[in-house]
Amino acid sequence: MSKKLTVFKIFPLILAFGLLIGIVSNIFFPQDVKLSCLVVIACAGLAFVWPLFQTLTNRLSSKSVTRFIISGLLLMVVIQLLVLHFLPVTVYHDPFRVLSQAELLSKNNYSWSNSTYFWRYPNNVSITFLLGQWLKFTNFLGLTTNAGLHFLSLIFLDSFISLSLKNIRRFSKQNGLVLAALIFFLISPFAYTYYLQVFYSDLPAMVCLLFGFNVLMRWPTLSKKNRLFQGLGLFLLILIGQLIKPNLIVFGIAIIVLLGIFLIRNRSQLLIYGIPLAIILIGFGASIPAKAAIQNNVHFTNNTKYELPTANWIWMSYDHKSYGTYSNSAVKKMNTFSTIADRKTYLKKAIPKRIKALGPRGVIEQWLIKTGILLKVGDLQASYSGGLIEAPNIQPKLQIILTMLGSLIMRVGFIFIYGIAFFKCLVMLTAKKASGKPIIGLAVITAVGYLLFHTFVWETESRYGQALLPLLFIVSAFPTPSILQSTKTFSMRKRGLITGGIAVLAVLVFVTESTSFVRPKEVVVASQRSQLSAQYDAKLATIQPGTTVTQKVKIKQPTTKVSILVPKRAHLTGTLVSLNNQKRYTFKRTKTYFIVHGKFKRGTYQIVLNNFNRKAQKLQIVQTQSYRLAPYPLRIKDTQHAYASLIYTFSNKVSS
């Protein structure tokens, strides 16, 4: 093995190690012994049936596989539409702030002073502008903001799923692999929760990566005419992708690394792939003036009083208390400084001090924990969701069990994906010479880039790890001596003994574990939690003396707690009225909430807030242009506001 080849094999080695951490992380986290046991049992069962599944599915004709895929996708779309109609969620945090501002831009309102959010995170101006343009288009078609947003999510999500299946089928030539992917998309929460219900930057970036690799893989076989159109599409997609998700630049850096490898090892590959790789790099370069042009077009000006330095994210990443995830305490600390220059000065000393305090062992532990967080998916489906707007009429325990089942399927599914990619990396490591498909190598380098970036440099979240998914699909579709062939050395009896033994051990742990399978938990029964947030100095509504604010809420499950977000110094009185029996419940004041506890039966209730003071009072009221926040409108005096709402949560404490 040559020295150059050894250096090149560092990438699959790092990726294999990272995927191994991801597998372990998804077995044990979120921490729940019984659920972890079920994950192990499901994985053992999957490992046993996988060779059999491959054998059976590889006998299917191409027509049969096509029918399965089309039928599965159609069924998935039907389920998606039902979910959007009957189980909408309340969207909060960054996606709602982007949506709220995009609505203003769609109405040619260029005010950026509704909150300080975009001054703190100016990178999100570009996605806000692009979303605003989409909403202009859907408004022109007569669609509501809700419908336009759902339509956009469906386009990106189903394009990602369809293209993933197409790539896996085309490049792997294995029916089993593509049908397994179809089953995962069809039965897991992947296609029905976060990516469907919440539009944000993660999914568009994943689509950009997937499309980019699709073009690169097919480039040598494309005609000149197709290369022209595909090259233009590639440029535009990379440009838009980088505007939406700045960490897509990892892909660009990976391309530069690959070009360096071409120059050292195989310059003939430059003649084949040089043009599309150059197009991608030009797309990244074009994003810089495009970003400036967008900010100028929407009249956005940076405000360094609020902006966080880049080094702040590095400082966050070595915070052992937050395990390298987003830290509110870090942001609060930055807000104690009045200028960005002062923040930078502080961070120059704070970062080395924090790393020194961790010590070598602490730093390595932080890296391992961050990698585990990056690749775990157990709670991904709840990202940026404040709960169901109106939970269906089912038992609260069943709602918890369904959520746990979704988490179980996601964890098992991603362990399977990581496992397949892990074995592919082992094949690359043990191969005597590199494969003749350098784009597979680019996928590995890009995946390693994301791993290292969020492990060593940046803060981490499980959402960020999703960027690896399209890359792992490419790696998994890489044609190698089939894992099926390697498993032929194991008889069905031996496989059964190994997987059965693991499953039996997991069953024993499950049975002997004393904790309840369904733990005490607060279940959201009805909610409206979209807001611009006080932490970003969101403007408050003024409630004049003698004014009454009301809003109806329907609950289809028993409820034990109702909370309304109210400013600290607001002198208001609050009452919850049952419209079924006219019974009234008085809210109690906490620091920032009105709260009432009790046993509230299914039915329709009305939140009533009164200003009996002689002075005007402030109140958090969320107002949009044409995005419906809640099933019932807000009423101020006798005026109805269809696109406004209080911030409320009806929840039920479910015992084990």
CATH assignment at residue 561 = 2.60.120
Read off the pLDDT band of 433 (50, 70, 90).
low
Which region among 5-14, 473-482, 488-497 has the lowest average model confidence (pLDDT)?
488-497
Beta strands 603-610 and 573-578, pairing class: antiparallel
Q: Whose CA is closest to 529, among 59, 1, 89?
A: 89
Judged on CB neighbours under 10 Å (0-12, 13-18, 19+), 427 is: middle
CB-side neighbour CA atoms (13 Å) of 489: 3
CA angle 246, 249, 251 (to 5 degrees): 135
Q: Residue 479 domain-assigned?
A: yes
CA angle 102, 81, 649 (to 5 degrees): 65
CB-side neighbour CA atoms (13 Å) of 239: 19
Read off the pLDDT band of 3 (50, 70, 90).
very low
DSSP for residue 152? H
**Tokens 């090259």, residue?**
231
Asked if 603 contacts 559 with a C-beta cutoff of 8 angstroms, the reply is no
Query: Is residue 157 located within the same domain as residue 279?
Result: yes
pLDDT digits (tens, 9 = 90+) for 574-605: 999 999 999 999 999 999 999 999 999 999 99
In the chain, how many domains are there?
3
> What's the confidence (pLDDT) of residue 297?
97
Q: Residue 367 domain-assigned?
A: no
Size of the chain in residues: 656
Amino acid in the structure at residue 87: L
Q: Residue 512 domain-assigned?
A: no
Query: Is residue 258 located within the same domain as residue 311?
Result: no
Read off the pLDDT band of 517 (50, 70, 90).
confident
Tokens found for residue 263 = 């120059």
Give residue 590's domain range. 521-654
118 Cβ contact partners less than 8 Å away, ≥ 6 residues apart: 97, 101, 112, 124, 125, 128, 300
> What's the confidence (pLDDT) of residue 430?
84
Domain end: 459, 474, 503, which one? 503
> What's the confidence (pLDDT) of residue 518?
84
In 68-200, the DSSP E strands lie at 89-91
pLDDT digits (tens, 9 = 90+) for 345-399: 999 999 999 999 999 999 999 999 999 999 999 999 999 999 999 999 999 899 9
Asked if 495 contacts 48 with a C-beta cutoff of 8 angstroms, the reply is yes
Amino acid in the structure at residue 249: I
Query: Is residue 380 located within the same domain as residue 441?
Result: yes
CB-side neighbour CA atoms (13 Å) of 478: 29
pLDDT digits (tens, 9 = 90+) for 201-223: 999 999 999 999 999 999 999 99
Q: How far apart are CA 438 and CA 441, in angstroms?
A: 5
Strand partners, 636: 549, 639
> Whole-number mean pLDDT of the chain?
94
- Coil, helix or strand at residue 434: coil
Residue 449 C-alpha from the chain's centroid: 19
Query: Is residue 37 located within the same domain as residue 174?
Result: yes
Amino acid in the structure at residue 432: K
Number of H helices, E strands in the chain: 22, 17
Q: Whose CA is closest to 343, among 99, 605, 93, 120?
A: 120
23 Cβ contact partners less than 8 Å away, ≥ 6 residues apart: 415, 418, 419, 422
Query: Is residue 388 located within the same domain as residue 321?
Result: no
3-state helix, strand, coil in the chain (%, to 5): 60, 10, 25
Question: Is the backbone of residue 650 left (phi > 0), alpha (psi -120 to 50) or beta?
Answer: beta
Query: Is residue 308 located within the same domain as residue 298?
Result: no
Query: Is residue 62 located within the same domain as residue 162?
Result: yes
Domain end: 446, 474, 503, which one? 503
Asked if 567 contacts 592 with a C-beta cutoff of 8 angstroms, the reply is yes
> What's the confidence (pLDDT) of residue 655?
82
